[in-house]
Amino acid sequence: MRSESDGHCYPTSFPGLAVRAAGKGDVGALFATVSNRYRPTVDEFLEHVEQLGEHTGWNDRVRLGWVDRVRSTEGGFAVDEHGVYQHVLLAPGPPGLAIPDELAADSRAVHAYQPHEFAERVAIVGAGMAAATEWLNALAAGSTVVSVRRREPERRPLNVPRVMFSRRGLARFQTADPVARAAQLRQLLGPSYPPGRGWDEPLADAARDGRFTVAHEVNGEQQIVCATGFLQGFRHSPLLRRLVEEHDLPTHDRWIELDGDCTVPSLTDGSRTLALAGASAQWAYPAADTLVGAKYSARRFLRRVRSCPTP
Amino acid sequence: MSYTLRGRLESRFFATLVVLVGACAVAAALPAFWPIELVALMLTVGIVLDMLLYSAIDYQPGWYAVPEGLLEFALTMGAVRVLGIDPPLGAAVAVFAGAWLATQALAQAGFPLLSISYAENGGELGRAGVVAGIASLAVLAGAGGFAWAKQPPTVHLSAGIHQGPLVITRRETLVGDRGAIVRGGIVIRANHVTVRNVAVLGGQNGFDVENVRDVVLDHVSVVGATLDGIHVRLAQVMVKGCTVASPAGYTQGIDISFAMGMGESMVEGCTISGGQEGIVTHSASVTVMGNRVSATSLRGIAMTEMSMGMIEQNQVTGSQGIGILCVDQSECMISRNQVSGTRSNPTSADLGQRGYGIESTFLSAAELSRNELYGNAHGIGTFSGGTVSGG
């Protein structure tokens, strides 16, 4: 998990996970976080989510339902048969796992996010965080790894450069013309994994022993692990695709064009709001598929709801 | 955190507003204006750095606040020195440290709680930031105006001879034009009086300062006073750059007495010649530093009657009797002085008057360090339970 103290679900960024760890006696977390070295474990994060869920009564306050279609109507948006809502925030999540077409029918292929063991010789397709994790896992399992990649990964502690989490980096991005903006997005969302000896040393050791090599294509390995993430773009989501088609929303490449506050411009005005969150909001906020990104969308959505009179 | 320039400025103004409230409270309690002046300088230094240096930083982890704070501290204290604000060092460091801590607490916790999008907005606080900026400047302007209004009036003394004694009974700054002379002395009976560039001729005491505080005698001169050149009783003074020429007889250059409860006085950079005693203190806390004392007939510099203080970097030459004396249960730190040509007093039967460069007498404790003694009849002497330590 590529997360730091701010990777939490509380509404305000303070107190973050490091401060809460310090409150439980781990004072070192404070020193670690001022130099960005604090990394909460998955267990700590899940415990935090569980506690927050209990504290907020999440399970009692959230109504589960299936939504296929959202359409503009008088008074707001019709959300399937669930009713008409003045303000809607769509966070449809990933539409599915991405597997390269040429490997879709290959019986040797398995996606990194699916349960799997490792064969003696394994090809791992991809070069991002999931791929890097698979390299280490496979090496630890005793496999020989071939990293199949089309381009070299960036080394970044977080999904995107830190400056892109704030207005300092966003201002120029959000005012760029669509072509330049899409190009920057493609570059920002390219494969990356964190720098550090924890990653480099096992790979260097394995490379010396001939157990880790890089190739441009799969070449007869016993097993192929597709560390290629999720399907990307609104066209893979039936909900978003229909929304675009029915309302003729402007798009660019795989993204729906959004305002800087993650709202759909043509469907948002002084009386109603339609906003996106998660990966589908990357046009507004490149790190939208992170916890910080989810809060970015949610805070702006909240601001619109508060400023909008209820009829 | 990735600050925008506007975010840095708004955050700084808001934090400064909080710090200013504390500084105003400290200033009122002292009372003194330096805490507000210090905060104003901190703000100025911070804004300059924000615009010229920090704005180039795309992202700064939390620990950057430490070197940034040290840089701002160095520049602020440098500005304090250049502008002559002169706050007590320890208190100034405490105010700066308190302000820094308060700012960090606000940046890390206060602002994110106040504004949930604080980090995403690059530190910008929106309307609150603008209001805080205006409020900070308004408080500073108000404090500056108040300080200006509280400044004592300045009175100019024209060139020529003015018949004294001149009696000052209100807070004021008396500045002598070139060639301004007062005949018969100046009497000071009010707090917060500064006398600058005035010469006094004759009189019993050249300057008579009693029962007051915060008096500054800056580059004054006294010639021919029949008792003391500068006579201080139950008062706290800063005497700097003075010149006193005393006639023979029972005269003293500077006498600061019975002022132990009035705070520390200072005599710095004065030139004193003639008279029985050059600089003498009785029951007072005084720093005597960087003075030149010559041709006294009893003692060059003396701390007496349970006085406490430093006698440092003075030149005492050609004294009769004693160069530097610590006497009567006084505690004296005597360091880096040059004492030369002290000769024995032929008219006195007192053993202690036999030309000692430095002497400690009657249960006094003198702590010596790096003094240069040459050409004296005797070097260092102790009498009647007086002690010296160090070298």
Task: Give me the interface pTM, i.e. the ipTM.
Answer: 0.88
Please tell me the predicted confidence (pLDDT) of residue B86: 76
DSSP state of A248: T
CB-nearest to A14 from B61, B113, B117 is B113
Pairing of strands A76-79, A84-85: antiparallel
A6–B63 C-beta distance less than 8 A: no
Per-residue confidence at A308, pLDDT binned at 50, 70, 90? Answer: confident
Contact A13 B2 (CB under 8 A): no
Longest distance between any two alpha carbons in chain A, whole Å: 70
Q: Which residues of A touch B4 (CB under 8 A)?
A: 166-168, 171
Q: What residues in B contact A167, CB-CB < 8 Å?
A: 2, 4, 7, 120-122, 124
Can the peptide bond before residue B31 be classed as cis, meaning omega within 30 degrees of 0?
Answer: yes
| Secondary structure (DSSP) of B151-197 | SPPEEEEPSEEEES-EEE-S-EEEEEPTTEEEES-EEE-SSSEEEES
Contact: A167, B121; criterion CB under 8 Å: yes
Q: Hey, what are B45's tokens?
A: 């230094």
Contact assignment for B119 to A36 by CB distance below 8 Å? no
Shortest Cα–Cα distance, B1 to chain A (Å): 8
Nearest to B243 by CA among B263, B225, B264, B265: B225
**What is the Cα Rg of chain B in Å?**
26
Is there a contact between B4 and B122 (Cβ–Cβ < 8 Å)? yes
Question: Is the CB of residue A12 less than 8 Å from the CB of residue B112?
Answer: yes
Alpha helices of chain B — where are they, by DSSP H?
A: 5-29, 34-52, 65-83, 89-105, 111-114, 127-150
Identify which of A14, A33, A34 has the shortest CB distance to residue B112: A14
pLDDT of residue B174: 95
User: Does the beta-carbon distance from B59 to A35 stay under 8 Å?
Assistant: no
For residue range B240-256, list pLDDT tens digits in order. Answer: 999 999 999 899 999 99
Closest-CA residue in chain B for A164? B2
Amino acid at B355: G
B350 three-state secondary structure: coil
Task: Decide: helix, strand or coil at residue B45.
Answer: helix
Query: What's the confidence (pLDDT) of residue B89?
Result: 86
The bridge status of strand A251-252 relative to strand A255-256 is antiparallel
Report how far residue A240's alpha carbon sits from residue A244's, in angstroms, rounded to the nearest whole number. Answer: 6
Are B109 and A171 within 8 A, CB to CB?
no
- Give span(s): CATH 3.50.50.60, chain A: 101-153+191-226
User: What is the CATH class of A101-153+191-226?
Assistant: alpha beta
> Percentage of chain B with pLDDT > 90?
82
Q: How far apart are the C-alpha atoms of A154 and A176, rounded to whole Å?
A: 23
Q: How would residue A4 be classed by pLDDT, with cut points 50, 70 and 90? A: confident
What residue of A is the nearest CA neighbor of B63?
A34
B119 and A6 within 8 Å at the Cβ level: the answer is yes
Q: What is the mean pLDDT of chain A?
A: 94
Degrees (nearest 5) of the Cα angle B89, B95, B98?
135
Number of H helices, E strands in chain A: 10, 14
pLDDT at position A305 is 93
pLDDT of residue A311: 63
Q: Highest mean pLDDT: which of A18-27, A37-46, B144-153, B304-313?
A: B304-313
Q: Are strands A255-256 and B193-196 parallel, antiparallel or unpaired?
A: unpaired
Which pLDDT score is estimated for B50?
96
Of chain B, the percentage scoring pLDDT greater than 70 comes to 100
Give the phi and the psi of residue B292 in degrees, each rounded to 5: -120, 120
Average pLDDT over residues A97-121: 94
Order the strands of the B160-163 sheet from edge to edge. Answer: B160-163, B180-183, B199-201, B221-223, B243-245, B271-273, B292-294, B315-317, B338-340, B372-374
CA A52: distance to chain centroid? 21
Q: What is the pLDDT, as a whole number, of residue A139?
A: 97
Task: Check pLDDT > 70 for residue B91.
Answer: yes
Residues 6+ apart with CB under 8 A from B265: B232, B235, B236, B237, B238, B239, B256, B259, B284, B285, B286, B287
Name the β-bridge partners of A73.
A76
Q: Which amino acid is at A68?
A: D
CB contact under 8 A, A165 and B124: no
Cβ-proximal residues to B207 (8 Å cutoff; 6+ apart), any chain: B185, B186, B187, B188, B195, B200, B217, B220, B222, B229, B230, B231, B232
Alpha helices, DSSP H, located in chain A: 17-23, 28-34, 42-56, 58-61, 129-140, 167-175, 178-188, 197-208, 238-247, 291-307
Q: What is the mean pLDDT of residues A37-59?
A: 92
The residues in A 210-249 lying below 8 A from B, measured between CB atoms, are none
Task: With beta carbons under 8 A apart, name residues in chain A contacting B112.
Answer: 12-14
Q: How confident is the model at residue A233 (pLDDT cuts 50, 70, 90)?
A: very high
Cβ of B63 and A35 within 8 Å?
Answer: yes
Q: Is the pLDDT of residue A2 over 80?
A: no
Q: Token digits for A86?
A: 């003045």
pLDDT confidence of residue A142: 96
A161 contacts in B (CB within 8 Å)? 58-59
Q: How many CB pairs under 8 A join A and B?
A: 64
Nearest CA in chain A to B56: A168
Position A1 scores a pLDDT of 67
For residues B222 and B198, give the distance between their C-alpha atoms in angstroms, rounded to a whole number.
9
Would you say B237 and B217 are in contact if contact means Cβ atoms under 8 Å apart? yes
In angstroms, the separation between the Cα of residue A174 and the nearest Cα of chain B is: 13
DSSP state, A236?
A: G
Distance CA B111, CA B207 (A): 56
Q: Choose the closest CB to B116 out of A11, A165, A292.
A: A11
Provide the CA A108 distance to its chain's centre, in angstroms: 27
Nearest to A167 among B59, B63, B124 (CB): B124
Which residues, 6+ apart, have CB-to-CB distance to B242 below 8 Å? B217, B219, B220, B221, B222, B229, B230, B254, B267, B269, B270, B271, B272
Distance from CA of B122 to the nearest CA of A (A): 5
Tell me the pLDDT tens digit for each residue of B122-151: 999 989 999 999 998 998 898 888 878 877
Phi/psi-derived region of residue A144, left when phi > 0, alpha when psi is between -120 and 50, beta in every other case: beta
Phi, psi of A302 (to 5 degrees): -60, -40
Give the C-alpha separation, B207 to B220, whole Å.
Answer: 9
CB B282 within 8 A of CB B302: no
The residue type found at B248 is A
Could you tell me the residue ranges of all domains in chain B? 5-150, 156-390
Count other Cβ atoms within 10 Å, centred on residue B175: 16
**pLDDT-derived band at A22, boundaries 50, 70, 90:** very high
Q: Are A138 and A110 in contact (CB under 8 A)?
A: no
Q: For A42-57, what is the mean pLDDT?
A: 93
Which of B50, B54, B59 should be substituted to probe chain A, the one whose Cβ sees the most A Cβ atoms within 10 Å?
Answer: B59
Q: Is the pLDDT of residue A93 over 70?
A: yes
Q: Is the peptide bond before B165 cis (omega within 30 degrees of 0)?
A: yes
- For the segment B255-299, what is each residue's pLDDT rounded down to a tens digit? 999 998 888 999 999 999 999 999 999 999 999 999 999 999 999
Say yes or no for a CB contact (<8 Å) between B4 and A33.
no
Closest CA–CA distance from residue B113 to any residue of chain A (Å): 6
Banded pLDDT at B29 (limits 50, 70, 90): confident
Q: How far is B6 from chain A (nearest CA, A)?
A: 10
Distance CA B139, CA B17 (A): 8
What average pLDDT does the segment A250-256 reach?
A: 95
